[in-house]
Structure 1
Amino acid sequence: METHLSEQAKLLPRAAEAESILRSCVHCGFCNATCPTYQLLGDELDGPRGRIYLIKQVLEGAPVTAKTQLHLDRCLTCRNCETTCPSGVDYHNLLDIGRAVVDEAVPRPLSQRLLRESLRAVVPRPALFKALTQTGQLLRPLLPATLKNKLPRQVHPAKPRPSVQHARRVLLLEGCVQPSLSPNTNAATARVLDRLGISVTAAREAGCCGAVDYHLNAQEQGLERARRNIDAWWPALEAGAEAIVQTASGCGAFVKDYGHLLEQDSAYAAKAKRVSELAKDLVEVLRGEPLEGLGVQGDQRLAFHCPCTLQHAQQLDGAVEGVLSRLGFQLTAVADGHLCCGSAGTYSITQPELSRQLRDNKLDALERGKPEVIVTANIGCQTHLDGAGRTPVRHWIEVVEQALG
């Protein structure tokens, strides 16, 4: 589409990128057909095409309003539209640019600011998050349903990790909330990889991937976390670690974007590119290994929820299903598997009503085949879906490890 950035917008660090993305959109509307919020609300401005038009207006100098901010806030950043788009519009990067400009122009109400700052203060800090989670579990009977549903129904304790050191080594991003909400996920990962002759190394200095800050519009703070992680991982990468493995697809999607987000940073551009190249979702490591030798007794009936960050951001739709099928698990059919469950990072907290509708629709689809367990590949989706108190939801690697012969 034709675009004319305002003089002020031309001064933005990512002005050329924004203009290029805007011009790639032909306004065909195919994206609306697979947009979860457009399907729920039926408002053009709550679909990708409408949001692109809003960002175009803002960058061309039109007045910015709270209504503009609301429609951009309602976007899940599920990136379903990118999978659908025939023109390859890089929507999520345009949205990041647009949201930053809008938030600069429209001050948020105090309640929203406090909520967002609280999320940024708590979620990326594993020790603080763990303390609050444990307190919440103790006070569970007294908590309102909205808070109770954010706590895991059952915590599967972490089993011991293997101590054997193999010639093949990978780094593992431990995550922020996963060690508290699903502590056995990474331990199960280490045990399965150990059976395949791969050792897991944790870089203790590495922390939050930066996605929480970045997507709550503290973009520079998110990028600073990325730089710290690169510094923490670099010695192990130079020593021969073959991959940086993520068991949470949301973290993986963001780490794989480090190269793009830091490409203008002369001190980190080359390292960030290398880190993004070596970032692997767990399934990318496992699918190339001789899994049949693990002796997995995969006789459970499972429904797999493929997170948006796995299928749309990382383009790994079908990968986990392929591994589970190879291992003998029975997978039920899931209608509308491309649609978001409503977790979307902190979205379930900042947009609770829409998030609940999406969650219930997703669970209806997942449960149609009557699975014993629902499995997924992202801690946010896992906690969000399990919070409904319906069919149990776990990370898929835990189910695999439990079935090891």
Structure 2
Amino acid sequence: MQTTLADFIKDTEAGREADAILRTCVHCGFCTATCPTYQLLGDELDGPRGRIYLIKQMLEGQPVTEKTRLHLDRCLTCRACETTCPSGVAYGRLVDLGRYIVEQKVPRTGVDKAARWLLREFVPRPRLFGAAMKMGRLARPLLPKVLADKVPLAAPAGRWPEARHARKMLSLAGCAQPAMAPAINAATARVLDAVGISLVQLGGTGCCGAVRHHLNDHAGGKDDARRNIDTWWPMIEAGEIEAIVMTASGCGVQVKDYGHFLASDPAYAAKAARVSELTRDIAEVLADELDALAACLPTPPESPTPLAFHSPCTLQHGLKVKGKVEAIMAVAGYAPTPVKDSHLCCGSAGTYSLLQPTLSKTLRDNKLTALQAGGAACIASANIGCITHLQTGTDTPVQHWVELVDARLLR
């Protein structure tokens, strides 16, 4: 796709990246077949190809309107289009840039502006978010269902094993997950401990930066990245850890991109690249330890327990991790059931469920129909946002898959 960038962007680093991405697009349209919003709305401008044209026009200096912003806002950034694209178009990076620029050209006002500011400033602060979640749980019986659904009851975290093994890995505390589901990282620590790996969670880490970045505060997202890097770096530099483990696939995608986000920062470029290199989803780690894991679990029964597994978009399209969770669950005695259109988003997508509630709810209901068609009594996923979002639409328990593995450990 030929482009002629406008003066405001053409000689910038962002402009050069956007131009390179646009030139890889051949306008084939394969992406529309796997785009959740195009399937729901049937509008070319609500699919990747149409959005690419809107961004191209904007970068070439053509007028930008609230309609442009609306179509970009409706994108889930699920990146299913990237998995489908035969040309390797880095759509996720392009749409992030497009949203950032359109926000400068068509500033938000009123409730829309206030809601996004609140999410940017509130969610990434673990202490503030955690305090609000505690208050919400106390008031939960009095809240309207739409609000009560956003305040899940949290299972106790349980024991975190001491760091007793020579093999050590770091974890990210995160922002929402410690308050909403503290058992996930603790369960991960117990499973890794069982296979001879100590998981270390340092107090200085927090939000990965995804919330701010995807709400167009790119500078704030980079500050989050620098804080996490600074906290991890002494152990990395000393060669004390072999990986940084992600238990939320959404955070994994963001941390994997630290090297890209901070490539032009001379003080952090090399460190960020090393952090990206070390970052692995917990499924990748345990898939390499299957024999050791099997020795810590009962022999799989002849009739495994049916399990509906929802692979988050960030896991299958962002991190390109496919089939590993299913292999681990088979060792743990579960049989994943077939899920129709498993490539489609559940509608969570970070803050999307709050900012685009109608589309998000439709996608959630469609996903739950597909997940429950196999008759499984439990749904598993790999990202706190997906887990919480799916649970708002069903009485079937929704958990992180690592919690289910932890529950099966021989103790």
* TM-score between both structures, scaled by the size of structure 1: 0.98
In terms of mean alpha carbon deviation, does 32-41 or 389-398 score higher? 389-398
How many pairs does the alignment contain? 404
Q: What is the alpha-carbon distance in structure 2 between the residues aligned to residue 389 and residue 156 of structure 1?
A: 18
* TM-score between both structures, scaled by the size of structure 2: 0.96
RMSD over aligned Cα atoms:
1.1
How far has the Cα of 1:248 moved from its partner?
Answer: 0.3
Q: What residue number does 2:245 align with?
A: 245
Does the Cα contact within 8 Å between 1:21 and 1:91 map onto a contact in 2?
yes
Q: What is the alpha-carbon distance in structure 2 between the residues aligned to residue 296 and residue 133 of structure 1?
A: 37
How far has the Cα of 1:296 moved from its partner?
Answer: 4.0
Q: What residue number does 2:295 align with?
A: 293
Q: What residue number does 2:165 align with?
A: 166
Q: What is the alpha-carbon distance in structure 2 between the residues aligned to residue 284 and residue 369 of structure 1?
A: 26
Selected match of 1:385 from 365, 386, 390: 390
How far has the Cα of 1:117 moved from its partner?
Answer: 1.1
Does the Cα contact within 8 Å between 1:304 and 1:376 map onto a contact in 2?
yes
Task: Give per-residue Cα distances to partners, 1:229-258, cap 9 Å, x unaligned.
Answer: 111111111222001101000000100011
- AA at the equivalent of 1:400: V
**Aligned-partner SS, 1:245:** strand
Answering whether residue 397 of structure 2 is matched by residue 395 of structure 1, we say no
Q: What residue number does 2:335 align with?
A: 330
Alignment of 1:255-266 (within 5 A): 255-266=255-266
Q: What residue number does 1:62 align with?
A: 62
Change (3 A) 1:296 1:305: farther
Q: What is the alpha-carbon distance in structure 2 between the residues aligned to residue 22 and residue 312 of structure 1?
A: 20
Q: What residue number does 1:44 align with?
A: 44
**Aligned-partner SS, 2:295:** helix
Q: What residue number does 1:84 align with?
A: 84
Does the Cα contact within 8 Å between 2:229 and 2:275 map onto a contact in 1?
yes
How far has the Cα of 1:8 moved from its partner?
Answer: 1.4
Q: What residue number does 2:75 align with?
A: 75
Answering whether residue 236 of structure 2 is matched by residue 231 of structure 1, we say no
Unmatched segments (≥5 aa) in structure 1? none
Selected match of 2:325 from 315, 320, 330: 320
How far has the Cα of 1:11 moved from its partner?
Answer: 4.0
Q: What is the alpha-carbon distance in structure 2 between the residues aligned to residue 324 and residue 297 of structure 1?
A: 12
Q: What is the alpha-carbon distance in structure 2 between the residues aligned to residue 63 and residue 292 of structure 1?
A: 59
Q: What residue number does 2:18 align with?
A: 18
**Aligned-partner SS, 1:294:** coil
Unmatched segments (≥5 aa) in structure 2? none
**Aligned-partner SS, 1:170:** strand
Identity across matched positions, percent:
58
Q: What residue number does 1:278 align with?
A: 278
In terms of mean alpha carbon deviation, does 178-187 or 305-314 score higher? 178-187
Does the Cα contact within 8 Å between 1:302 and 1:330 map onto a contact in 2?
yes
Q: What is the alpha-carbon distance in structure 1 between the residues aligned to residue 386 and residue 151 of structure 2?
A: 13
- AA at the equivalent of 1:254: Q
Change (3 A) 1:157 1:257: same
How far has the Cα of 1:164 moved from its partner?
Answer: 4.6
Task: Give per-residue Cα distances to partners, 1:124-148, cap 9 Å, x unaligned.
Answer: 1111111111111111122122211
Q: What is the alpha-carbon distance in structure 2 between the residues aligned to residue 47 and residue 279 of structure 1?
A: 31
Does the Cα contact within 8 Å between 1:162 and 1:194 map onto a contact in 2?
yes
**Aligned-partner SS, 1:284:** helix
Does the Cα contact within 8 Å between 1:297 and 1:404 map onto a contact in 2?
no
**Aligned-partner SS, 1:390:** coil
Runs of 4+ deviating beyond 6 Å:
none
Q: What residue number does 2:208 align with?
A: 209
Does the Cα contact within 8 Å between 1:296 and 1:400 map onto a contact in 2?
no
Q: What is the alpha-carbon distance in structure 2 between the residues aligned to residue 25 and residue 46 of structure 1?
A: 17
Does the Cα contact within 8 Å between 1:151 and 1:387 map onto a contact in 2?
no
Q: What is the alpha-carbon distance in structure 1 between the residues aligned to residue 163 and residue 48 of structure 2?
A: 49
Q: What is the alpha-carbon distance in structure 2 between the residues aligned to residue 340 and residue 149 of structure 1?
A: 19
- AA at the equivalent of 1:351: Q
